[in-house]
Structure 1
Amino acid sequence: MRAKTGINIKVFLTWLLVALLTLGLYIYTRTPAVGLIDSGELAAGCYLLNILHPTGYPIYTILGRFFSLLPAGSIINRLALLSAVFSVAGLLMILLLCQKLNFNLIISSTVALLIAVSPPLWSVSVDAEVYSLTFFMNCLLWFVLINSTKQPRLLLLSYLAGLTLTNHLTGLWTVIGVIITLILTWRCKLIRPAPLLSLLFLLGLSPYLFLIIRARAQPLFAWGNPVDFERFWWHITGRQYRVWMFSSSFSNVLQNGRYGILLIARTFGYLLIPPVIYGWVILLRQNRPLAIGLTITTLLSLLYAVNYGIPDIDAYYLPAITALALFAIWGMEALYRRFRKYLYLMSILPLIMLVLNYPHQNRNQDWVAYDQALNTLKSADSGAIIITDWWDIYAPIFYLQEIEKMRPDVSIIDKELLRRSWYFNYLEKKYPLLTRNSRNEIQHFLHQLLLFEYRLPYDPIAIQESYIRLLRSFFFNNPARPVYTTFAPGSGNDAQQLLTGFQVVPIGILYQVRADSLIPEFDYRILQVRIPRFGLNERSKFNLDRYRIFAQQRIALLSRLNRTAEAQLVASWYKKMFSNYQ
């Protein structure tokens, strides 16, 4: 490999152009408000220094806290900026690595820009997400590794490897690849500095102490409540998510594999797949340890992604994409002299993929999560209790209530989080009167729940009965407060047991749970729905489809009661809001 340390003005200006173009693209296409999935929890968690969902992401929380204090924009916009900044920083690491190896500037810039406009990276750079930080750390690890010819850089690499694991654990695949490369390269020379390297690796893990320290300070929302080593270990290893890991059927794994291959092919503009393969062959000849390390990272990343059954899986391919990008650069560099003209034509590939991906990745009109959360609150009367099983409603409302201070009179409970003992600490702080009114039911359920959590003998029938009894106590023990759910009686066994004996009335985009036969009026015109022109994925469509379901059910109910005028108002509202939606 050829090493080059100087950076001339041409190189600097190219890097600056790549950085400004990608940062500008991410800022322009970022979400205008809180998004679906984890956006609301992450943004509010960073600002309030909560304990985030497993695996905790302590380094993201700490860095996010600093970004949340920036003097411009909303909290969610500041956290989206953090995502954009770290994605751009990761791309610059790739360019810097290529410069150190004296690789062609156009080739390295082409690959970096292709990664920048790829769905996996673009999608996590425009919202509050943890993956862009992991992408940056992965790129930084490979950069330091390839330049680790002296022990001081080995020490830095060891510390960074530990630090990488304090964000998203998909960084583990890069860490494993880096360690294997080091072992194959240094062999016996690693024995002497091994104790110091191990110590620095552990030092890199030190941000995890934030979880224990902060949990003992009792923040508002301490997911997992990792106050002792056992709960800390459960949290950082993602114990509650193991049900989705390596549990897919063989047919689902094959389907996920096909999806992953197509995603990677699209990431590299399809045309760069041959250079990726050729680069792998070339690197095996030039630097076998590095080629093996990159290959192992790629395989581990792919194996995990195709076996993890969650919808938002694209970002889990980023460690593999980063490794494959290095193969692509090596391959294009090897082909450069023979096919120079054709390789320069490849430089327009990022522009082509930008045009193709833009309609799917532009999120600057995406108000789906914000509107749904706000409309859910508008659907509820003063002092309401809302029980939900839908994270895409709960997390954005959590953000709106805690950060934007909307509708503090409403108590919203995630019935799935209610299956976790730590959640009751939050409920007691947030809704003291509500929990006080159900104290007996909570204590009885917690007794059963702790047996389950600590894997002691428990009765599944008893735990389910106490769970339903607790949920129903929110109805019976708070008679002066209106109660709503986001799910219908027929949406599952829990819903059926919970809502038996009650009348369930669609109102707005909620179901009101009533003990009488009254059907309250509701003016749907107070609900605003903004349909984005771009960036509508399947999850957004699923959430938008809830409006159709509620409108149809409301119209059918009013029609049966001969309240035709009200039914027509609902129909005209839906037609107006969704006239441009297909």
Structure 2
Amino acid sequence: MTRLFSQQSFRSKTLVAAAFVFLVALLIYRLTLAPTVTLVDSGELIVAARFLGVAHPPGFPLYLILAHLVSLLPFGSIAFRINSASAIFAALACGMLTLVAAELISGSSFVSTLRSEQRKKTSKSKIVGKDTFTADGWLMLGSAISSGILLAFSRTLWSYATIAEVYTLNSLLILTILFLMLRWRRGTGNDATIKSRSRRSIPAIADYDSWLYAAAIVFGAALGVHHVTVGLLLPALAAIVWKTHGIGFFVSRRLFYAALVSLAALVTVDSYLPLAASANPLLNWGDPSSFRALWWHITGRQYQVFVSFTPAIAGQELIRFGHLLLREFGFCWLPLPLLFAVIGYISMFRRDRTAFWFLILIVLFNLGYALNYEIAEDKDAYYLPTFISIAAASGYGMREVLQRFASSSRAPAAGLMLVIPLLALVAHWPYNNRSHYFIAHDYVENIQSTIEPNSLLLTLDWQVASPMLYTREIEQRRRDIKAIDVQPLRRSWYFDYLQRSYPSLIERSRDKIDAYVGELKKWEQDPDVYAQNTVLTRRIENAFQQMLRSFVDRELEVAPVYVTAELILTKESQNINFIEWLTHNFQAVPRGLVFQLKCDNEFHDSGEPHLQTRGLIDGTIRFAEDDVVRLKV
């Protein structure tokens, strides 16, 4: 006679376990939280959230709304508050993974029991009472906890839990969708298999469908955070629906209602973008006030050039992914969690084929896209759905292996469940401890300290432009500096920001700006026409060059002009004409981390810059070879 733990007792304990994992993760994230702005998109996202603006595509409306609410709380700096929001989202995601892992592990036992009952017609299993909890139940619970803490201490999620970024909220919503669908599946099993014990059709609308509609609402809302990684869950969701209800579900009213509430959630969240744009916010990336501009923005039109389904790129990215995967859950030389994940997938394939396809399709479709998306700075975040699936499978595999030890000795089982997450903690603490991370803030301050009042600064470096946007707009530092990022000058919305921030600069080059923006807006409406017409391409490029030269020449009449290193020392292809014009017509005099443009050939003393280097050389922060600090700064 098989003793099964009470499902009700197990669920109540999993809630306590999830809360425990949440608190552990939140504690670690708080201890390692960045105190201020960081590199990449942090500065831009903080400014967009604080002033209810529009961030870069796809806009992240749900994230901006939630981050704005957190920014209103009375503690710490604005950056610290929004960094804290990322920590809370990540800790909740880890707690949610605990629930997902518990549902997968206990669900497989539940499915096995149902199959046994169907074969034997009469059950020989004895359900232990509500107040009884078996050793197998504790083992399942321990494996789920270990899975959640493993994700908490994983390299990628932890790294985004300490800074202002969208990926922890995205992970939380993905895991919420997975949990709700697994609960819906369990309710379906209860209704269709236990109660009816026949093959007659299930009700058109059942009580347990509330889980399905909740998942649909969260899915729609999640599309308003990072629509690509969320949208790629659809094959996995379709698999669990098909394996549970068959093909008939896809023409049922239930699917129609689920799609309807999901669409309603998406429209509600995305309506923030045109509403925010119409309010003329400080940062209005893409100006999605029209339907066409809104569609271009939420579909990430400007980033589609980075997607290339070519074997060469996919092969390079696969090697890079392999490196990321080996270090993700601990030391590269001790990939025990990956071994447990493989065992977990194999065990699921044998015990619960639906759960197997549910998790494996998440991996396959996530990798299918991410391996063909070529970006350098936050590529690891695009693999988070895969890492989530692996963490869940690792908990499943852990339970499978440790079940052999539980009957003879519980100490090795408990020890292994504890050691594996702790190894990840030890391995990743040096890289993810950002409690002394002032690099972006100091980088900007070091640049600003060598720039004279009212000067123009031209840059191609987003690692300068993004944190400087934060120090200017949030901290109100050095607002006299006219900082222009050359790359966004290829988008018409950026000139609204420049007009608002530096009206005198715009007026001094008004004629050249108007000539260029007129061509730019035509190009934005139909870039293919320009791509196919060399005359039009040459015309807009000439107008762009004339405007850039006007910025330099006319600002030099009233104040110094500075450029960052990539406009002098590199041959960046997209802006090669402007770079060559600068190097041929001006002397670039080093001023700390930037260069001052001089019209003469006389000797100019560079001086001795006094640089702040907190975290760089004092040993408080370690950087991997692919860290953005090494790549960009």
TM-score (norm 1): 0.88
Q: Which segments of 5 or more consecutive residues in structure 2 lack a partner in the other structure?
A: 107-136, 188-207, 531-535
Q: Over aligned residue pairs, what C-alpha RMSD do you find?
A: 2.3
SS of structure 2 residue aligned to 1:337: helix
Q: Distance in 2 between matches of 1:398 and 1:451?
A: 28
1:182 and 2:241 aligned: yes
Please list, as runs of the form range in 1=range in 2, the aligned pairs for 1:11-410 lying within 5 A after superposition: 14-100=17-103, 101=106, 104-148=140-184, 149=187, 150-169=208-227, 170-187=229-246, 188-189=248-249, 191-205=252-266, 206-246=268-308, 250-269=311-330, 270-311=335-376, 312-340=378-406, 342-347=412-417, 348-410=419-481
C-alpha spacing 1:433/1:5, structure 2 compared with 1 (3 Å): farther
Q: Distance in 1 between matches of 2:399 and 2:603?
A: 71
Query: Which region of structure 1 is more displaced relative to structure 2, 485-494 or 373-382?
Result: 485-494
Amino acid at match of 2:586: F
SS of structure 2 residue aligned to 1:272: helix
Q: Distance in 1 between matches of 2:360 and 2:158?
A: 24
Check the 8 A contact 1:110/1:346 in 2, yes or no: no
Query: Which region of structure 1 is more displaced relative to structure 2, 476-485 or 515-524?
Result: 515-524
Aligned counterpart in structure 2 of residue 506 of structure 1, from 590, 594, 605:
590
* 1:485 aligned partner: 563
Measured after TM superposition, the shift of residue 355 of structure 1 is 1.1
Q: Distance in 2 between matches of 1:154 and 1:12?
A: 20
SS of structure 2 residue aligned to 1:329: helix
Measured after TM superposition, the shift of residue 158 of structure 1 is 1.2
Identity of aligned residues (%): 30
* 2:544 aligned partner: 467
Q: Distance in 2 between matches of 1:90 and 1:189?
A: 29
SS of structure 1 residue aligned to 2:8: coil
Name segments (4+ residues, structure 1) moved above 6 Å: 7-10
C-alpha spacing 1:531/1:158, structure 2 compared with 1 (3 Å): closer
Q: Distance in 1 between matches of 2:608 and 2:75?
A: 34
Q: Distance in 2 between matches of 1:9 and 1:292?
A: 27
Q: Distance in 2 between matches of 1:330 and 1:379?
A: 56
Rg larger in 1 or in 2?
2
Amino acid at match of 1:354: L
Check the 8 A contact 1:441/1:473 in 2, yes or no: yes
Show CA shifts across 1:104-129 (max 9, x none). Answer: 22211112111111111111001001
SS of structure 2 residue aligned to 1:147: helix
Q: Which segments of 5 or more consecutive residues in structure 1 lack a partner in the other structure?
A: 545-582
Show CA shifts across 1:270-327 (max 9, x none). Answer: 1132332232233234433332232111111122222222222111111111122222
Q: Distance in 2 between matches of 1:335 and 1:484?
A: 62
Query: Which region of structure 1 is more displaced relative to structure 2, 273-282 or 522-531?
Result: 522-531
Q: Distance in 2 between matches of 1:242 and 1:2?
A: 51
Measured after TM superposition, the shift of residue 231 of structure 1 is 1.1
SS of structure 2 residue aligned to 1:386: strand
Show CA shifts across 1:53-83 (max 9, x none). Answer: 1110000000000111110011111111111
Check the 8 A contact 1:388/1:394 in 2, yes or no: yes
Q: Distance in 1 between matches of 2:52 and 2:387?
A: 31
Measured after TM superposition, the shift of residue 98 of structure 1 is 4.1
Amino acid at match of 1:81: S
SS of structure 2 residue aligned to 1:193: helix
Check the 8 A contact 2:61/2:273 in 1, yes or no: yes
SS of structure 1 residue aligned to 2:595: strand
Measured after TM superposition, the shift of residue 435 of structure 1 is 1.0
Q: Distance in 2 between matches of 1:3 and 1:302?
A: 38
Q: Distance in 1 between matches of 2:357 and 2:367?
A: 15
Measured after TM superposition, the shift of residue 185 of structure 1 is 1.9
Q: Which has the higher contact order (CA 8 A, sep 6+)?
A: 2
Q: Distance in 2 between matches of 1:339 and 1:204?
A: 47
TM-score (norm 2): 0.81
Check the 8 A contact 1:43/1:128 in 2, yes or no: yes
Check the 8 A contact 2:341/2:397 in 1, yes or no: yes
Query: Which region of structure 1 is more displaced relative to structure 2, 402-411 or 181-190?
Result: 181-190
C-alpha spacing 1:455/1:158, structure 2 compared with 1 (3 Å): same
1:414 and 2:485 aligned: yes
* 2:623 aligned partner: 536
C-alpha spacing 1:315/1:2, structure 2 compared with 1 (3 Å): farther
C-alpha spacing 1:112/1:507, structure 2 compared with 1 (3 Å): same
SS of structure 1 residue aligned to 2:294: helix
Show CA shifts across 1:168-195 (max 9, x none). Answer: 1322223442233223322324512222
> Matched residue pairs, number?
543
Check the 8 A contact 1:160/1:201 in 2, yes or no: yes
SS of structure 1 residue aligned to 2:541: helix
Check the 8 A contact 2:153/2:329 in 1, yes or no: no
Q: Distance in 1 between matches of 2:339 and 2:613?
A: 45
Amino acid at match of 2:259: S
Check the 8 A contact 2:590/2:606 in 1, yes or no: no
Check the 8 A contact 1:31/1:365 in 2, yes or no: yes
Amino acid at match of 1:182: V
Query: Which region of structure 1 is more displaced relative to structure 2, 291-300 or 398-407?
Result: 291-300
Q: Distance in 2 between matches of 1:301 and 1:429?
A: 40
* 2:205 aligned partner: none
Measured after TM superposition, the shift of residue 155 of structure 1 is 1.3
